Amino acid sequence: MASSATFSTLVLSSSFATQCNVSNRHHQSCFLSSPPKIPIFSIPKPVSLKLTSLLSKTPTFFTIPKSSESDAAVVDVEPDNVEPEPEPEAAPEPEPEPASVVEASKEEPKREEIFAVVMIGGRQYIVFPGRYLYTQRLKGANVNDKIVLNKVLLVGTKTTTYIGKPVVTNAAVHAVVEEQGLNPKVVVFKYKKKKNYRRNIGHRQPNTRIRITGITGYQDYPAVTLES
Protein backbone atom coordinates (compact mmCIF):
# COMPACT_ATOMS: atom_id res chain seq x y z
CA MET A 1 0.00 0.00 0.00
CA ALA A 2 3.02 2.28 0.30
CA SER A 3 3.35 2.31 -3.44
CA SER A 4 -0.27 3.27 -3.76
CA ALA A 5 0.30 6.13 -1.31
CA THR A 6 3.10 7.54 -3.42
CA PHE A 7 1.07 6.76 -6.48
CA SER A 8 -1.80 8.78 -5.08
CA THR A 9 0.43 11.75 -4.31
CA LEU A 10 1.70 11.59 -7.85
CA VAL A 11 -1.82 11.48 -9.13
CA LEU A 12 -2.68 14.40 -6.87
CA SER A 13 0.14 16.52 -8.17
CA SER A 14 -0.34 15.60 -11.79
CA SER A 15 -4.04 16.10 -11.70
CA PHE A 16 -3.70 19.38 -9.83
CA ALA A 17 -1.30 20.48 -12.54
CA THR A 18 -3.80 19.71 -15.25
CA GLN A 19 -6.62 21.36 -13.35
CA CYS A 20 -4.55 24.48 -12.80
CA ASN A 21 -4.04 24.81 -16.50
CA VAL A 22 -7.78 24.86 -17.02
CA SER A 23 -8.25 27.19 -14.03
CA ASN A 24 -10.80 24.78 -12.67
CA ARG A 25 -11.60 24.46 -9.01
CA HIS A 26 -11.83 20.73 -8.37
CA HIS A 27 -9.75 18.57 -6.10
CA GLN A 28 -8.64 15.67 -8.22
CA SER A 29 -7.55 12.73 -6.22
CA CYS A 30 -9.22 10.02 -8.21
CA PHE A 31 -7.27 6.81 -8.16
CA LEU A 32 -9.20 5.37 -11.09
CA SER A 33 -8.02 8.02 -13.51
CA SER A 34 -4.34 7.64 -12.63
CA PRO A 35 -3.05 5.54 -15.55
CA PRO A 36 -3.82 7.97 -18.38
CA LYS A 37 -2.54 10.98 -16.44
CA ILE A 38 1.01 9.78 -15.75
CA PRO A 39 2.30 10.05 -19.33
CA ILE A 40 0.77 13.54 -19.63
CA PHE A 41 2.79 14.76 -16.66
CA SER A 42 6.00 15.11 -18.62
CA ILE A 43 8.37 17.78 -19.86
CA PRO A 44 6.31 20.84 -20.78
CA LYS A 45 4.15 20.90 -17.67
CA PRO A 46 6.25 22.92 -15.18
CA VAL A 47 7.25 25.56 -17.73
CA SER A 48 3.78 26.09 -19.14
CA LEU A 49 2.27 26.38 -15.68
CA LYS A 50 4.78 29.08 -14.77
CA LEU A 51 3.69 31.17 -17.72
CA THR A 52 -0.04 30.70 -17.33
CA SER A 53 0.09 31.58 -13.65
CA LEU A 54 0.61 35.20 -14.67
CA LEU A 55 -2.55 35.11 -16.74
CA SER A 56 -4.95 33.00 -14.76
CA LYS A 57 -7.21 34.46 -12.12
CA THR A 58 -6.85 31.88 -9.35
CA PRO A 59 -3.40 31.47 -7.89
CA THR A 60 -2.04 28.40 -9.58
CA PHE A 61 -0.39 26.42 -6.93
CA PHE A 62 1.52 23.21 -7.39
CA THR A 63 3.90 24.40 -10.06
CA ILE A 64 7.54 24.19 -9.05
CA PRO A 65 7.30 22.74 -5.51
CA LYS A 66 4.85 20.11 -6.64
CA SER A 67 7.08 19.11 -9.49
CA SER A 68 9.95 18.68 -7.04
CA GLU A 69 7.71 16.57 -4.81
CA SER A 70 6.62 14.54 -7.77
CA ASP A 71 10.24 14.04 -8.77
CA ALA A 72 10.74 11.96 -5.66
CA ALA A 73 7.51 10.11 -6.28
CA VAL A 74 8.37 9.50 -9.90
CA VAL A 75 11.79 8.12 -9.08
CA ASP A 76 10.29 5.80 -6.49
CA VAL A 77 7.33 4.54 -8.39
CA GLU A 78 7.84 4.84 -12.11
CA PRO A 79 10.27 2.60 -13.94
CA ASP A 80 10.19 5.28 -16.64
CA ASN A 81 13.61 6.84 -16.96
CA VAL A 82 12.60 9.61 -19.31
CA GLU A 83 10.45 11.60 -16.88
CA PRO A 84 12.81 12.38 -13.96
CA GLU A 85 15.57 13.68 -16.21
CA PRO A 86 13.89 16.67 -17.85
CA GLU A 87 12.03 17.75 -14.73
CA PRO A 88 15.03 18.78 -12.58
CA GLU A 89 16.31 20.67 -15.60
CA ALA A 90 13.00 22.39 -16.20
CA ALA A 91 12.51 23.28 -12.53
CA PRO A 92 15.46 25.67 -12.05
CA GLU A 93 14.98 27.29 -15.47
CA PRO A 94 11.77 29.30 -14.87
CA GLU A 95 12.89 30.50 -11.45
CA PRO A 96 15.09 33.36 -12.70
CA GLU A 97 12.01 34.62 -14.60
CA PRO A 98 9.71 37.39 -13.23
CA ALA A 99 9.99 37.90 -9.52
CA SER A 100 6.24 38.18 -8.91
CA VAL A 101 5.74 34.63 -10.09
CA VAL A 102 8.60 33.39 -7.88
CA GLU A 103 6.87 34.88 -4.82
CA ALA A 104 3.66 33.09 -5.68
CA SER A 105 5.52 29.82 -6.09
CA LYS A 106 7.21 30.20 -2.69
CA GLU A 107 3.82 30.42 -0.92
CA GLU A 108 2.68 27.15 -2.39
CA PRO A 109 4.27 24.65 0.02
CA LYS A 110 2.17 26.16 2.83
CA ARG A 111 -1.05 25.10 1.07
CA GLU A 112 -2.72 22.29 3.01
CA GLU A 113 -4.47 19.63 1.03
CA ILE A 114 -7.87 19.85 2.51
CA PHE A 115 -11.30 20.71 1.27
CA ALA A 116 -14.61 21.52 2.90
CA VAL A 117 -18.22 21.73 1.87
CA VAL A 118 -19.68 24.92 3.24
CA MET A 119 -23.16 26.37 2.99
CA ILE A 120 -23.38 30.05 2.13
CA GLY A 121 -26.54 31.88 1.21
CA GLY A 122 -28.53 28.68 0.93
CA ARG A 123 -26.12 27.11 -1.52
CA GLN A 124 -23.36 24.60 -0.89
CA TYR A 125 -19.86 25.03 -2.26
CA ILE A 126 -16.76 22.86 -2.25
CA VAL A 127 -14.03 25.08 -0.93
CA PHE A 128 -10.21 24.96 -0.96
CA PRO A 129 -7.83 27.22 0.92
CA GLY A 130 -6.34 29.87 -1.29
CA ARG A 131 -9.04 29.90 -3.94
CA TYR A 132 -11.82 32.38 -4.38
CA LEU A 133 -15.47 31.90 -5.08
CA TYR A 134 -18.49 34.03 -5.86
CA THR A 135 -21.45 33.84 -3.50
CA GLN A 136 -24.66 35.73 -2.97
CA ARG A 137 -24.13 39.26 -1.74
CA LEU A 138 -23.31 39.24 1.97
CA LYS A 139 -24.92 42.32 3.43
CA GLY A 140 -22.85 44.26 5.90
CA ALA A 141 -19.54 42.85 4.72
CA ASN A 142 -16.99 45.37 3.56
CA VAL A 143 -13.91 44.73 1.48
CA ASN A 144 -11.05 43.06 3.38
CA ASP A 145 -13.34 41.83 6.13
CA LYS A 146 -12.50 38.54 7.72
CA ILE A 147 -15.39 36.16 7.68
CA VAL A 148 -15.95 32.91 9.51
CA LEU A 149 -18.31 30.44 7.94
CA ASN A 150 -19.81 28.06 10.42
CA LYS A 151 -22.05 25.80 8.40
CA VAL A 152 -19.43 23.28 7.39
CA LEU A 153 -21.05 20.10 6.16
CA LEU A 154 -18.01 18.01 5.32
CA VAL A 155 -14.27 18.32 5.71
CA GLY A 156 -11.88 16.12 3.82
CA THR A 157 -8.14 15.70 3.98
CA LYS A 158 -5.84 13.31 2.21
CA THR A 159 -6.47 10.50 4.68
CA THR A 160 -9.63 11.29 6.66
CA THR A 161 -13.12 12.54 6.04
CA TYR A 162 -15.26 14.30 8.61
CA ILE A 163 -18.89 13.95 7.62
CA GLY A 164 -21.20 16.30 9.43
CA LYS A 165 -24.64 15.33 10.65
CA PRO A 166 -25.64 17.82 9.46
CA VAL A 167 -22.76 20.11 10.48
CA VAL A 168 -19.21 19.36 11.60
CA THR A 169 -19.25 20.85 15.11
CA ASN A 170 -16.78 23.64 15.84
CA ALA A 171 -15.48 23.58 12.30
CA ALA A 172 -14.95 26.98 10.77
CA VAL A 173 -13.88 28.17 7.36
CA HIS A 174 -12.06 31.47 7.41
CA ALA A 175 -12.37 33.75 4.43
CA VAL A 176 -11.65 37.30 3.39
CA VAL A 177 -14.10 39.41 1.44
CA GLU A 178 -12.35 40.56 -1.71
CA GLU A 179 -14.95 42.36 -3.69
CA GLN A 180 -18.65 43.18 -3.68
CA GLY A 181 -19.67 43.24 -7.30
CA LEU A 182 -22.36 42.29 -9.76
CA ASN A 183 -22.85 39.24 -11.91
CA PRO A 184 -22.74 39.66 -15.68
CA LYS A 185 -25.94 41.07 -17.10
CA VAL A 186 -28.76 38.74 -18.09
CA VAL A 187 -31.48 40.07 -20.35
CA VAL A 188 -34.92 39.14 -19.12
CA PHE A 189 -37.14 39.37 -22.18
CA LYS A 190 -40.82 38.62 -21.75
CA TYR A 191 -42.98 38.27 -24.83
CA LYS A 192 -46.51 37.14 -25.51
CA LYS A 193 -47.35 36.52 -29.12
CA LYS A 194 -50.22 38.33 -30.83
CA LYS A 195 -50.95 40.33 -27.68
CA ASN A 196 -48.48 43.12 -28.20
CA TYR A 197 -46.72 42.42 -24.93
CA ARG A 198 -42.98 42.89 -24.77
CA ARG A 199 -40.87 43.64 -21.74
CA ASN A 200 -37.12 44.01 -21.93
CA ILE A 201 -35.35 44.12 -18.58
CA GLY A 202 -31.66 43.81 -17.78
CA HIS A 203 -30.61 42.25 -14.51
CA ARG A 204 -27.33 42.08 -12.64
CA GLN A 205 -27.39 40.03 -9.48
CA PRO A 206 -25.16 41.36 -6.70
CA ASN A 207 -22.47 38.98 -5.60
CA THR A 208 -19.50 38.86 -3.26
CA ARG A 209 -16.14 37.40 -4.03
CA ILE A 210 -14.49 35.78 -1.05
CA ARG A 211 -11.12 34.16 -0.81
CA ILE A 212 -10.77 31.19 1.49
CA THR A 213 -7.83 31.42 3.86
CA GLY A 214 -8.16 28.36 6.04
CA ILE A 215 -10.23 25.55 7.43
CA THR A 216 -10.00 24.87 11.18
CA GLY A 217 -11.72 23.26 14.08
CA TYR A 218 -12.59 19.91 12.61
CA GLN A 219 -10.04 17.78 14.44
CA ASP A 220 -12.15 16.61 17.35
CA TYR A 221 -15.04 15.40 15.29
CA PRO A 222 -15.46 11.62 14.72
CA ALA A 223 -13.84 10.89 11.40
CA VAL A 224 -13.73 8.21 8.80
CA THR A 225 -10.12 7.34 8.14
CA LEU A 226 -8.63 5.66 5.17
CA GLU A 227 -6.94 2.45 6.30
CA SER A 228 -4.01 2.80 3.97
Could you list the residues that contact another protein (CB under 8 A)? 26-32, 35, 115, 117, 124-126, 153-154, 156, 161, 163-166, 186-191, 198, 200, 224, 226
Nearer to another protein, 126 or 141 (CB): 126
- 92-97: which pairs have CB atoms within 8 A and are 24 or more residues apart? 93/47, 94/46, 94/47, 94/50, 94/51, 94/64, 95/64, 97/50
Nearer to another protein, 32 or 55 (CB): 32
Q: Residue 149 CB, nearest distance to another protein (Å)? A: 15
Q: Residue 52 CB, nearest distance to another protein (Å)? A: 21
Q: Residue 200 CB, nearest distance to another protein (Å)? A: 6
Nearer to another protein, 54 or 226 (CB): 226
> Residues 149-174, buried b or exposed e (16+ Cβ, 10 A)?
bebbbbbbbeeeebebeeebeebbbb
Q: Residue 41 CB, nearest distance to another protein (Å)? A: 18
Instruction: Supply φ then ψ for residue 73, to 5 degrees.
Output: -65, -40
Q: How far apart are CA 8 and CA 203, in angstroms?
A: 45
